[in-house]
A and B are shown apart, each in its own frame.
Chain A
Amino acid sequence: MKVLMKGNEALAEAAIRAGCHHFFGYPITPQTELAAYMAKRMPKVNGTYLQAESEIAAINMVLGASAAGIRAMTSSSSPGISLKSEGISYMAGSDLPALIINVQRGGPGLGGIQPSQSDYWQATKAGGHGDYQILVFAPSTVQEMVDLVSDAFDLADQYRIPSMILADGMLGQMMEPVELPEEGAKQPVEKTWAACGHENKREHNIINSLYLTPDKLESLVLERYERYEIIKKKEQRAEEYLTDDAELIVVAYGASARVARSAVNKLREQGQKVGLIRPITLWPFPVDTLKKAAAHTKQMLVVEMSMGQMVDDVKLSVDCKIPVSFYGRTGGMIPTPADVQAEIEKLLK
């Protein structure tokens, strides 16, 4: 049965249904409804909703809960994610899974509270210190938010790596009908590495990111990068829309992809051969899809609600074999389908 839900609330409900009964947060707009929903729902499932004293404390509570072997999450918006970046780096360095949701708003600094996509670099190029990656998922509908929450938890557990859902204020605030997964359908994964008491049955487990011997530290980073290579091979996701015969392909994710799709539809009605590639995983970036497309299309246009961040990865993916242009609005401005259409028409001339 489909229910009408706000994006932020759907993310929360999906997480609970994916077996996450521990939420640690700190108020910030525009993710507000997510935390409020958790505060209402968690007591009903004997879970924990804890409003921390800061985003820093919240992510470290997630670190502790994850270290103890359970599914835990936090959510925030851009400035709050900057504060959480320290903890995310420690979690990456301690090989801890967890879900972090970023309902992006405009930046830098306090920026604004309108939808934005200017945290792409922060999410995909390591927002904290050190050599590390996290899984980054970019939903573009409320239904996809629900579906990706579950996958984000599963893959985080499978690869022992933090996962992020990179949404934005528009997706968080919009309402759409969604099909929710059944509650408790997931069996908790057994985590033999967790610090939850050895019961005198095994050696003590240590969850740690400190290695003072350089060769030991390097070997652990290298091991992690081997895992990253497997993830890059197996977990890339992208949606292709009308790309087969497209002479120009728009590349956009999240809310921008919705706008771009409208522009593509409009131009198709006019007989223009345009298509859309929508990255669903931002890390690993869907390099393979873009590479393949570059072999048969003439040019690409990257549309983002930023000054141009993902465009770098698109250029790297197509290896400069075709021209890649960029169109973006920033500071919480949302481009209209007509804006994008005009941009495409300029390029097709």
Chain B
Amino acid sequence: MAIVFQKPHALTDAPLHYCPGCTHGIVHRLVAQALDELGVEGRTVGVASVGCSVMSYDYFACDMVEAPHGRAQAVATGIKRAKPQNVVFTYQGDGDLAAIGTAETVHAATRGENITVIFINNAIYGMTGGQMAPTSLPGQITQTTPYGRDTNTAGYPVRVCELLSTLDGVAFAQRVSVSDVKNVNIARKAIKKAFQNQLDGKGYSIVEVLSTCPTNWGLSPVEAVQWMNENMVPYYPLGVYKDIAEGVKTVK
């Protein structure tokens, strides 16, 4: 019997710990699929970050390093500089990448590190139980903004793709969502491209994936997708923010 669908080789058999309706699982699959299709699992080193995806080191079948909170792109820089022949990616959430790790993110990007960054933006701290994230929307109710995010005191959300696309070291920045089949297909292509860019030596490539957190948003999985489409997509428009075809000056 012909096999028409199966788990990517680059995912292990470990059962994922993610909540029902969380989109981490989809993104894990897309990353693993990219590694399979490019045939690079054997020379890939992934960097897991602190947050819900911390245990992604158990899920990706390539070699993995677990970084301190916010430091994933510094760790990835160290790996890539040590072993340029390795394919190196980070998998980070919004708290990790855009709050505690902002300096590491901006500087890895501006150096044009030839790495691939997968950025999960679900507008909340999931692992610690739903606190305000740097990407929580104005008015969004979280555990630490119980009356809604007040921009007068808590400031405004960080738009990562827009911010990073101003930096000369960034070769590729695209924001995608995994809300439906059409968007998952767009995300699949973007993630594969972000890895292909690294193989081509083009420099820093980031894919921001708008994701759901039904548990901490207090919504059902279906409602969560709706909330994402109605609230997050307008604030974080989908699309390609930067795509330098010839790549940026990068480490040879």
Chain A residue nearest to B50 (CB atoms) is: A210
Known contacts: A52-B107, A197-B44. The answer to whether A204 contacts B79 by CB under 8 A is: no
The distance from the CB of A129 to the nearest CB of chain B, in whole angstroms, is: 11
- Are B74 and A52 interface neighbours, CB within 8 A? yes
- Are B74 and A57 interface neighbours, CB within 8 A? yes
- Are A64 and B63 interface neighbours, CB within 8 A? no
Total A residues in contact with B, Cβ cutoff 8 Å: 41
- Assembled-state Cα–Cα distance A42/B103 (Å): 25
B86 at the interface (CB under 8 A from A): yes
- Are B65 and A208 interface neighbours, CB within 8 A? yes
A56 at the interface (CB under 8 A from B): yes
- Assembled-state Cα–Cα distance A239/B223 (Å): 71
- Are A206 and B82 interface neighbours, CB within 8 A? no
B104 at the interface (CB under 8 A from A): yes
The distance from the CB of B46 to the nearest CB of chain A, in whole angstroms, is: 9
- Are A60 and B79 interface neighbours, CB within 8 A? no
A29 at the interface (CB under 8 A from B): no
Write out the residue numbers on chain A whose beta carbons fall within 8 Å of the beta carbon of B45: 67-68, 195-197
- Are A200 and B42 interface neighbours, CB within 8 A? yes
Contact-size category for B: 35 or more
0/1 string, B96-134, CB within 8 A of A gives 1: 000000011011000000000000000000000000000
A116 at the interface (CB under 8 A from B): no
The distance from the CB of A116 to the nearest CB of chain B, in whole angstroms, is: 28
- Assembled-state Cα–Cα distance A26/B62 (Å): 31
Contact of B65 among A56, A58, A64, A198 (CB under 8 A): A64
- Assembled-state Cα–Cα distance A54/B66 (Å): 20
Known contacts: A68-B79, A196-B83. The answer to whether A53 contacts B103 by CB under 8 A is: yes
The distance from the CB of B116 to the nearest CB of chain A, in whole angstroms, is: 15
- Assembled-state Cα–Cα distance A254/B62 (Å): 45
Looking at A58, A67, A70, A196, the one whose CB has the most chain B CB atoms below 10 A away is: A67
Write out the residue numbers on chain A whose beta carbons fall within 8 Å of the beta carbon of B87: 197
The distance from the CB of A259 to the nearest CB of chain B, in whole angstroms, is: 39
B146 at the interface (CB under 8 A from A): no
Contact of B74 among A48, A64, A197 (CB under 8 A): A64
Within 8 A of A (CB), among B59-111: 60-68, 71, 74-83, 85-87, 103-104, 106-107
Write out the residue numbers on chain B whose beta carbons fall within 8 Å of the beta carbon of A58: 74
A61 at the interface (CB under 8 A from B): yes
A122 at the interface (CB under 8 A from B): no
The distance from the CB of A217 to the nearest CB of chain B, in whole angstroms, is: 14
Write out the residue numbers on chain B whose beta carbons fall within 8 Å of the beta carbon of A24: 78
- Are A207 and B64 interface neighbours, CB within 8 A? yes
Chain A residue nearest to B68 (CB atoms) is: A90
- Are A65 and B66 interface neighbours, CB within 8 A? no
- Assembled-state Cα–Cα distance A67/B83 (Å): 10
The distance from the CB of A202 to the nearest CB of chain B, in whole angstroms, is: 9
A288 at the interface (CB under 8 A from B): no
Residue pairs across A and B with CB atoms within 8 Å: the count is 142
- Assembled-state Cα–Cα distance A207/B60 (Å): 13
- Are A64 and B104 interface neighbours, CB within 8 A? no
- Assembled-state Cα–Cα distance A106/B71 (Å): 28
Chain A residue nearest to B45 (CB atoms) is: A195
A66 at the interface (CB under 8 A from B): yes
- Are A196 and B63 interface neighbours, CB within 8 A? yes
The distance from the CB of A62 to the nearest CB of chain B, in whole angstroms, is: 6
Chain A residue nearest to B47 (CB atoms) is: A64
B57 at the interface (CB under 8 A from A): yes
B41 at the interface (CB under 8 A from A): yes
- Assembled-state Cα–Cα distance A313/B67 (Å): 33
Write out the residue numbers on chain B whose beta carbons fall within 8 Å of the beta carbon of A205: 63-64
A17 at the interface (CB under 8 A from B): no
The distance from the CB of A246 to the nearest CB of chain B, in whole angstroms, is: 47
The distance from the CB of B154 to the nearest CB of chain A, in whole angstroms, is: 25
- Assembled-state Cα–Cα distance A48/B80 (Å): 11
Chain A residue nearest to B84 (CB atoms) is: A48
0/1 string, A284-318, CB within 8 A of B gives 1: 00000000000000000000000000000000000
- Are B81 and A61 interface neighbours, CB within 8 A? yes
The distance from the CB of A204 to the nearest CB of chain B, in whole angstroms, is: 5
Within 8 A of A (CB), among B30-65: 41-45, 47-48, 54-55, 57-58, 60-65
Cross-chain pairs A/B with CB under 8 angstroms, 18 sampled: A22-B78, A24-B78, A50-B77, A52-B107, A53-B103, A53-B104, A56-B71, A62-B78, A64-B80, A66-B78, A70-B83, A195-B63, A196-B63, A197-B42, A200-B41, A206-B63, A206-B65, A210-B66
New A-B pairs, 20, CB < 8 Å, besides A60-B104, A64-B82, A207-B66: A22-B82, A52-B74, A57-B74, A57-B107, A60-B75, A61-B81, A63-B67, A64-B79, A67-B45, A67-B75, A67-B78, A72-B78, A195-B65, A197-B42, A197-B45, A198-B41, A198-B42, A205-B63, A206-B64, A207-B65
Top 10 nearest A-B pairs by Cβ distance? Answer: A64-B78, A60-B74, A61-B78, A197-B43, A64-B75, A195-B63, A53-B107, A65-B78, A65-B82, A60-B71
